[in-house]
A and B are shown apart, each in its own frame.
Chain A
Amino acid sequence: MALPRFQYHEPTSLAEACQMLKAFGETAAILAGGTDLLVKMKNRELQSQNIVSLAELEEIKQINVTGSNTSIGACCTISQIAESVKIRSTYPALASGAECLGSPAVRNLGTIGGNVVTASPAADLPPALVAYGAKVRLKSEDRERFFLLEEFFRGPGATHIGNDEIIADLHLDEPSECSGAGFFKLGHRRALQCSIINGACYLALNPQSGEIETARVVLGAVAPTIVRASSAENILMGEKPSANLFLEAGRAATRDCSPIDDLRGSAAYRRDMIQVLTNRTLHAALENIR
């Protein structure tokens, strides 16, 4: 299926890209990896006369570590994240999310910025990003702002990004020393699979008492946006990790979700799996600490 015709623009800096975006207004669309955008354009779900390509913009294709901050440029590919030594060692749940996205060829094209801004409730990277407390930096011609990623999503396909804004990068703080995280994805097959549900858990323990100081339980494909399962987190906080505690947290997590029946699974099946996989992923997070 042929793509519709459009004008193609290749800015050489993020600043120039922001200017173009403002100038073209609603006629513009951003090309990063193209794995979502080009499919939507082929399907005629999206018509844009001006494609602003960030795909070759080196400025936002780097993973940079500055002190305790890691920034991941919006056009880093999924493969780049899955293979990064820094991400694999410091943010393993994010690397796991990246490893199971799409297929090898899709991972070589798709980008973290695209995965975030597309705002699919079943996207593979946001659960781990939110579990690690990621922030997203938005740039426009005349301003810059940060969002906590968990507050960035409004609904399926909708975020707080403005028409004139571009995701520049995602920022992650170094996790505390006594912390760990895990990721899960449940699908009908392992590749090219939109999740039935997915999620990530992050646990930080008090090094002296061994009690849970911070717990983040993040679930995807269970509601219109990814959710923080606060009922589960409340059960975990201040307690020492145990098999019973994790079981109870898994049960509580279902209360924070509003799954639907769709072609990938029923709401009832999703609720059952939320319980099982939250429990399992909490164990994985705990293992990751040691």
Chain B
Amino acid sequence: MKKTIQLSINRRPYTVDVEPHWTLLDMLRNELGMLGTKRGCDKGDCGTCTVLVNGRPVNSCLYLAVRANSKEILTVEGLETDEGLHPLQKAFLEKGAVQCGFCTPGMLMASVSLLDEKQSPTEEEVRWAISGNLCRCTGYQHIVEAVMSAAEKR
């Protein structure tokens, strides 16, 4: 039986009828058509489905949609504002931190929570923040540079 949940996604209020067995990832992609958040391993190992719940990164594949009731969700679609791309997104473009792009939404969400938490993160802290996010293309170096550069520029 479906349950009705009320939540905020990317600063907008939503009311959604969800099946108990849907994950937040299922709801975002299949019900709301928000395809920015990717489905990778679907078991919490790859990090590409990372979204922020009340400001903290979680694997949306391991988070039941019903749990999102009354929560604030931020997905990659919510990074861009009226002022344009998020500084982190700009830095990813400038530093060539995107190759195939499949890990990028998760990388951005894991990094954005670090930047919210720490004014000037060290390289070690950046690597630790994205340690749950697998990238098979870049070797991580340009991603780390992008996050560092976004932190320095603000």
- By a beta-carbon cutoff of 8 Å, the part of chain A in contact with chain B is 1-8, 10, 31, 33-35, 38-39, 42, 51, 53, 55-56, 79, 102-106, 108-109, 190-192
Interface centre among B19, B20, B47 (most CB of A within 10 A): B20
Chain A hits for B20, CB < 8 A? 5-8, 51
Minimum Cβ distance to chain A for residue B72 (Å): 14
Q: Does B115 contact A (CB under 8 A)?
A: no
Q: Which residues of B contact A33 (CB under 8 A)?
A: 62
Within 8 A of A (CB), among B73-112: 110
Stretch from B9-17, B37-45, B146-154 at the A interface? B37-45
| Cα A216 to Cα B110 with chains together (Å) | 37
Contacting pair A2 B26 (CB below 8 A): yes
Residue from A4, A34, A190, A192 within 8 A of B45 (CB atoms): A192
Q: How far is the CB of B73 from chain A (nearest CB, A)?
A: 13
Interface of A is mostly: loop
Bound Cα distance A51, B23 (Å): 14
Q: How large is the interface on B (under 10, 10 to 19, 20 to 34, 35 or more residues)?
A: 20 to 34
Which residues of A are found within 8 Å of B63, using beta-carbon distances? 34, 109
A-B contact pairs, 24 of them (CB 8 A): A3-B21, A5-B19, A5-B20, A6-B20, A6-B21, A8-B3, A35-B44, A35-B62, A38-B62, A39-B43, A39-B62, A42-B43, A51-B20, A53-B66, A102-B44, A103-B47, A104-B131, A105-B58, A105-B59, A106-B132, A109-B58, A191-B128, A192-B45, A192-B132
* Cβ-defined partner of B59 (8 Å) among A6, A10, A109: A109
Q: How far is the CA of A31 from the CA of B67 in the complex (A)?
A: 11
- Residues in chain B near residue A192, CB distance under 8 A: 45, 131-132
User: Would you call A55 and B67 a contact (CB within 8 A)?
Assistant: yes
Min distance, Cβ A37 to any Cβ of chain B, angstroms:
9
* Most B C-beta atoms less than 10 A away, residue of A5, A31, A39, A51: A39
Whole-angstrom distance between the alpha carbons of A97 and B39 in the complex?
Answer: 29
- Chain B residues lying within 8 Å of A31, measured Cβ to Cβ, are 64
Residue on A nearest B69 in the bound complex, by CB: A56
CA distance A103 to B66 in the complex (A): 23
Contact status A8-B47, CB under 8 Å: no
How far is B62's CA from A5's CA once the two chains are assembled, in angstroms? 15
A108 touches B67 (CB 8 A): no
CB-CB nearest in chain A for B43 = A39
Which of A3, A53, A108 has its CB near the most chain B CB atoms (within 10 A)? Answer: A108
A3/B132 in contact, CB under 8 A = no
Q: Is B56 an interface residue (CB 8 A)?
A: yes
A39 CA to B44 CA in the complex, in Å? 8
Q: CB-nearest residue of chain A relative to B30? A: A2
Please report the C-alpha to C-alpha distance between residue A240 and residue B72 in the assembled complex, in whole angstroms. 55
Q: How far does the Cβ of B138 sit from chain A's closest Cβ, in whole Å?
A: 17
